[in-house]
Amino acid sequence: MALGSDRVTFWFGCNMLRHAEMIRLTIMLLERAGYDVRTVGGPGYCCGTAHDHQPRAASNMAARTVGRFNEAAEKEGRGTVVTWCPSCHMHMSDIMSPSNVTAFEIAHVTELLAERADRLAGLLQVPVQRSVLLHRHVGFATHVAVNDRVVGLLSRIPGLQLRQGPAHPGHMCSALAALPGALGRAARETWDGASAADCDTVCTIFHSCHRELAALEGRGGIAVRNWVHLLAEAMGLAASDAYLGWRTGGAPDIAAIERADESRYHALIEPEIRKPPPL
């Protein structure tokens, strides 16, 4: 990659805000790979895909987000927008870019990290003694070979044994939620696959899958980690996972709840973190 294109905008999307540690670890990985990262996300950078029922509003949101990325490209030299979310990536590629003038390229975070895997490999010095089943979906392969990219990165971790899990439909677990029984089936097939292969860890690739499978942490002696957690472990770094803790009976500390707005926490957050697991 040419000098100057190392300045990137990391666009983590909306729903990743559940997983602050995963955002921070991804920034760390990009920086260790040599990128200068400006991080953005949340509703102010909405791709519009959650508003399919309001096409005009969705179009305006998309145009605003593209405008912000154009400004970062033109004023800060950030000519690449790095995605995490496959839904944001596909929406940018298929809808936002063709219908707006763009001054940037788009790439998935796994593509950038895979491109510099040799640089990261030198940092992966701590053996991770886990037998890992990779939770995969087939959908995003239309745009990015994400399963291969993650396998390539995880295979650099000393000590880690990796098996590829069943290839589930959709681009991530949220795509299955509207199909009766599909999400539970994907979770069951993943756990059955992990058990059959004597794996002690299921590794998620996307946040939506992590959100659903986190509630199964410990089921059958199988832990749930995201790929960025495993890379961080191999670097000897802390790789905490607050959301997983909340989905398995924990809760944010009271000071954080008060800061966030206690009544809205009880109304909006508790129902999600206390909902039944998918299996």
Residue of 103, 107, 121, 182 interacting with another protein (CB under 8 A):
182
Q: Which of 7, 28, 40, 107 binds another protein (CB under 8 A)?
A: 40
Q: Which of 1, 237, 238, 260 binds another protein (CB under 8 A)?
A: 260
Other CB atoms within a 10 A radius of the CB of residue 95 amount to 16
Tokens of 124: 């992966």
In angstroms, the first-to-last Cα distance of the chain is: 44
Tokens of 270: 């508790």
Contact with another protein (CB under 8 A): which of 2, 3, 4, 53?
A: 53
Q: How would you classify residue 249: left for phi > 0, otherwise alpha for psi between -120 and 50, otherwise beta?
A: left
**Interaction of residue 17 with another protein, rule CB under 8 A:** yes
The residue from 1, 179, 196, 238 that contacts another protein (CB under 8 A) is: 179
Quick check: 22 binds another protein (CB under 8 A)? Answer: no
The C-alpha atoms of residue 133 and residue 193 are separated, in whole angstroms, by 8
Q: Where are the beta strands (DSSP E) in 26-183?
A: 36-40, 80-83, 105-108, 131-137, 161-168
Residues in the interface with another protein (CB under 8 A) total 48
175 binding another protein? (CB under 8 A): yes
The verdict on 14 binding another protein (CB under 8 A) reads yes
| Only segment of 75-83, 137-145, 154-162, 227-235 that touches another protein (CB under 8 A) | 137-145
Position 170 contacts another protein (CB under 8 A): yes
Cα 78 to Cα 8: distance, rounded to the nearest angstrom:
5
User: Which residues have C-beta within 8 Å of that of residue 243, sequence separation ≥ 6?
Assistant: 18, 19, 210, 211, 214, 273
**Interface residues toward another protein, by CB under 8 A:** 12, 14-15, 17-18, 20, 23, 39-44, 46, 50-55, 90, 94, 137-142, 169-171, 175-176, 178-179, 182, 242, 252, 256-257, 259-261, 264-265, 268-269, 272
